[in-house]
Amino acid sequence: MSISLDIKRSKREKSISADGYPESVALEVRNLNVYYGPFKAVKDVTMDIYARRITAMIGPSGCGKSTVLRCFNRMNDLIPGARVEGEVNLHGQNIYAPDVDPVEVRRRIGMVFQKPNPFPKSIYENIAWGARINGYKGNMDDLVEESLRAAALWDEVKDKLRQNAYSLSGGQQQRLCIARAIAVRPEIILMDEPCSALDPIATLRIEELMRELVENYTIVIVTHNMQQASRVADYTAFFMVDDSRTGYLVEYGESEQIFTRPKDKRTEDYITGRFG
């Protein structure tokens, strides 16, 4: 490991949430700009992601919310021509610093994708693989059970761990993907429209699961669904897109405030369904 991201947690900033408890910052985003080749996709995003809270990013299509999310674990590195400016600090360490290995970043900041994408392997192997490649030495059976329990999937699959993951329903597959992300013990889980391919009941289960997971994890979710954001998220960030198709952050605050007393006219127009 090139440089340890385990820098003392004292650098965390403190802010006070509405209920009076101090929030600790999990991820500090500072002046983030993203380019795809000459195209500027996102400009000047500055926000704090709070630990053990769910933060939702909403906004119209093309506003860069998914792009911003993918910056949080350097998934954009995989896109040829993508370039990121600014800082994303995890415990005071900029994950874009030249001596930080993106592979290590992605282990610590996991991701769940829009479409359930389990590996075409057994349910067991889906969970175990990530742990194994990251050098997990403990009892694998325990880890698999623990992860599946945490993703509220254990009871449904405990008798068929050796079956192919594709035998599961879409909602189960998505929870398997969440279990798979949990198995490598990340601090933050990024979810890119995790329910957009699921039916309402499966969606509800994922939302319930998110509320359980937030006890131990920091969750950032991108969603098209404003009801979903207002239901599950503690904080909500509203993004918009300007005339040159560059996305930017309009307003960020507690969900309750964003959805009931938005400060910005554009936020109000969006959440009341006047555009988007």
Provide φ and ψ at 165, rounded to 5°: -60, -20
Binding range to another protein, per CB under 8 A, among 51-59, 127-135, 137-145, 200-208: 127-135
d(CA 47, CA 237): 9
Q: What is the Cα–Cα distance from 262 to 264, expressed in whole angstroms? A: 6
Binders of another protein among 71-110, rule CB under 8 A?
Answer: 73, 75, 78, 80, 103-108, 110
Stretch that binds another protein, among 126-134, 215-223, 230-238, 248-256 (CB under 8 A): 126-134
On whether the CB atoms of residues 5 and 100 are closer than 8 A, the answer is: yes
Q: Is residue 149 close enough to count as binding another protein by CB under 8 A?
A: no
CB of 232 to another protein, least distance (A): 21
Least distance from another protein to the Cβ atom of residue 271, Å: 30
Per CB under 8 A, does 214 bind another protein? no
Using CB under 8 A as the binding rule, whether residue 3 contacts another protein is answered as: no
In order, the DSSP letters of 22-65 are EEEEEEEEEEEEEEETTEEEEEEEEEEEETTSEEEEE-STTSSH
CB 210 within 8 A of CB 229: no
Residues that bind another protein (CB under 8 A): 73, 75, 78, 80, 103-108, 110-111, 113, 115, 117-120, 129-130, 133-134, 166, 177, 180-181, 184
